[in-house]
Chain A
C-alpha cells in the first residue's frame, strides 16, 4: 500500500552525532525522507513530548535521512534527547523547495538553518561556482563546515563567520553577505536561519536585483494549511512555503518584523 504522507510513520534512531554541545543529528532509515527536495520539512513526533516541524537533513548513507536539532525549549530538547534505538513519528514531506539556479550561487545558513543548505549542496552542478557562508555566534557553535567542504567538488568557498570573532571572519554573517553581493554578481542567493538574518540577506540581494530565496520558520501545528498557526501576512509558511522569493517577501509586512505566538498574537522579533 502506498504511504499516506500525512500519516505518521514510526522510525528508529540508528545513530546520534554530536555536532556541538547543543546541536545533534539523529540518523534514521526511511523510504521517503532521504529523497526530499531542499527546503522541504517533516512534522516530527516525539512521543509524549510534542511534534515539531524539522527540515530534513541529508545522510551520507543511502536510504537514510536525519534531523539536526538544537536543544532550546522543552520540545527541541525532547528531540535532542532521543537515544539510539528511540522511536519517533514522521509525516511529510511538506512544503515547497528552493528553485535551483545555475552559475554563481551564494548559500547562507545560520545554525540549524544550514540543514536545507546542505541538501541544496547535493543538488548543485559541478559547473556551478558555489560559496557557502556559515554564520555562528561563537567557535563552539560552528558545525557542518567539514560537511560543506566535502559536498563541494571541487571544494569551493566555505566561509565561516562568528559574531565574536573566535573563529573565521569576525562579525555578523549578514555583513559578509552585504560585502559579497556588493562586489559580485550572483545568479542566486539562498538563505535559511534566524529571521533577522534572512531579512537582511533578502534586502541585500533583492535591492540589487539578485534572485534570492529564504526558507521561513514559524510555529506550526498541522503542517498542512488548516490550523493557520504559521501564517505570515497572507501566506502560510507550511503550505505556500516554506521557501519564498525575495520579490514576494519584500511585499510581506510581517516578514522580518513579526511572528505569532501559540495563541496567535503578533509579537515583534
Chain B
C-alpha cells in the first residue's frame, strides 16, 4: 500500500469533520507549495549555518528545516569585526558580509546528509552564478533553493540584485530551468518597491517567497563618535522588524497567489501564529537564537500546538491568511 503526499493531513481533516466531538492532536506539518515540512519553524539563512553537525542538532531541537548561509561561487571571508551590534531594547544589526565557504566546499560538506531538510541559500550577481552553484549540489539532498535577493550590506549582490527587475526575472528563470527542486526568492526592503520584486519573481515561475530580509541600518558609538560596525551599515533583525515583516507578508498574500515564508523577528509562538494569520505557511527565525538559544524551536512548536488545540485547528493550513478575512 502506498500513501500519497499529504494523505495524513487529509485523513486528519476528514476525521475531524466526521467526529467533531473527538479531539484530534493537531499536526504542525506544513506545505509551502511543493515543499513539505514536518514542522513550520525553520532556521533563517545566515544563522549558524556552516556545519552539518550543527544542522543535525538544530533539526533535533525542533527546526522544520535549516536554511544555509548564503553561498557564493567562491569562498568569502566577510567583513572584519565588529560584525554584529545589539540594539538597546531588542534586535541586532549585523554586517557579517555573507562570509561562507563557497558553494563547492559547502556541497561536499552536506553530501552525507540524509535526514535534515536543508534549504540551500544562494547569492550571486548574475544568472550564471546561480546556475554554476546549483550544479555543485547535484549529489546533495536539497529540499529547496532560496535565492538571496535582499542582503542589505554587500555590494553587487542581495538587494542590489533584488532592486533590478530585469535581473530578478533572468535569475529566477535561469534557476527554474536549472533545477527541479523548488525555488524560493527571499525579498527585502531596498530602494524600489519590494512588491515589484515579488511580482517579477512570481511571473518568472518562483515557487515561494521568503519575506523579509534584515533592514539596512546602522549604529554609532557616542563615546568614540564613530560607526560601530566595520562596514558602517548592516541589517537590522529581531523583534524591531517583526511588525514590518508581518505587514509585508500580509501585503504579498493579499496581492499574489504564492506560498509565503514569514521571516523577521519571530521569537515566540504568538509571532509565528501572527505570520500564519497574515498568510505565511511557515516561518524562519534567527535573532531569537541569540536570546533564547536553540530551545526556541521546540518552545514555539509547543506553543503553536497549544494554540491550535484551543482553536480546534487540525493543520497549519487552517490558520493561513485568516486575518485577511476579517
Residues of A participating in the B interface, judged by any CB pair closer than 8 Å: 4, 6-8, 10, 43, 45, 47-48, 50-52, 75, 87, 89, 91, 221-229, 231, 233-234, 236, 239, 260-265
Contact A263 B290 (CB under 8 A): no
B-chain residues with CB within 8 Å of residue A91 when the two chains form the complex: 86
B82 interface contact, C-beta 8 A = yes
Contact B101 A222 (CB under 8 A): no
With A227-B96, A236-B48 already in contact, 14 other A-B pairs whose C-beta atoms are closer than 8 Å = A8-B85, A47-B221, A50-B230, A89-B221, A89-B228, A91-B86, A222-B84, A225-B48, A226-B92, A226-B94, A227-B46, A227-B84, A228-B47, A233-B53
| Min distance, Cβ B250 to any Cβ of chain A, angstroms | 27
Contact B80 A264 (CB under 8 A): no
User: Can you offer 9 A-B residue contacts whose CB atoms are under 8 A?
Assistant: A89-B228, A225-B293, A226-B94, A226-B289, A227-B94, A228-B51, A231-B51, A234-B53, A265-B101
Interface of A is mostly: loop
Interface string of B67-83 (1 = CB under 8 A from A): 00100000111101111
B-chain residues with CB within 8 Å of residue A260 when the two chains form the complex: 50-51
Give the docked Cα–Cα distance between A8 and B82 (Å). 10
Residue of B nearest to A1 (CB): B88
| Min distance, Cβ B108 to any Cβ of chain A, angstroms | 10
Contact A264 B101 (CB under 8 A): yes
- Give residues of chain B (206-250) contacting chain A, Cβ–Cβ below 8 Å: 221, 223-224, 226, 228, 230
Interface residues on B, range: 35 or more
Interface string of B264-304 (1 = CB under 8 A from A): 00000000000000000000001101100100000000000
Which of A43, A47, A225, A263 lies in contact with B76, CB distance below 8 A? Answer: A263
Interface of B is mostly: loop
Known: A87-B223, A226-B84. A45 touches B228 (CB 8 A): yes
B105 interface contact, C-beta 8 A = yes
Contact A47 B290 (CB under 8 A): no
Residues of B participating in the A interface, judged by any CB pair closer than 8 Å: 46-51, 53-54, 56-57, 69, 75-78, 80-86, 88, 92, 94, 96, 99-102, 105, 221, 223-224, 226, 228, 230, 286-287, 289-290, 293
Give the docked Cα–Cα distance between A162 and B87 (Å). 46
Interface hub of A50, A89, A221, A233 (most chain B Cβ within 10 A): A221
Q: What 6 A-B pairs are tightest by C-beta distance, nearest first?
A: A6-B86, A51-B81, A234-B53, A263-B75, A228-B48, A262-B77
Give the docked Cα–Cα distance between A225 and B86 (Å). 13
Give the docked Cα–Cα distance between A75 and B76 (Å). 19
Which of B86, B101, B223 lies in contact with A263, CB distance below 8 A? Answer: B101
Give the docked Cα–Cα distance between A233 and B50 (Å). 10
Residue of B nearest to A52 (CB): B81
Contact B290 A224 (CB under 8 A): yes
| Min distance, Cβ B89 to any Cβ of chain A, angstroms | 9
Residue of A nearest to B222 (CB): A10
A-chain residues with CB within 8 Å of residue B226 when the two chains form the complex: 47-48
Give the docked Cα–Cα distance between A6 and B84 (Å). 10
Give the docked Cα–Cα distance between A6 and B85 (Å). 8
A-chain residues with CB within 8 Å of residue B47 when the two chains form the complex: 226-228
Contact A50 B81 (CB under 8 A): yes
| Min distance, Cβ B252 to any Cβ of chain A, angstroms | 26
Residue of B nearest to A4 (CB): B88
Contact A10 B221 (CB under 8 A): yes
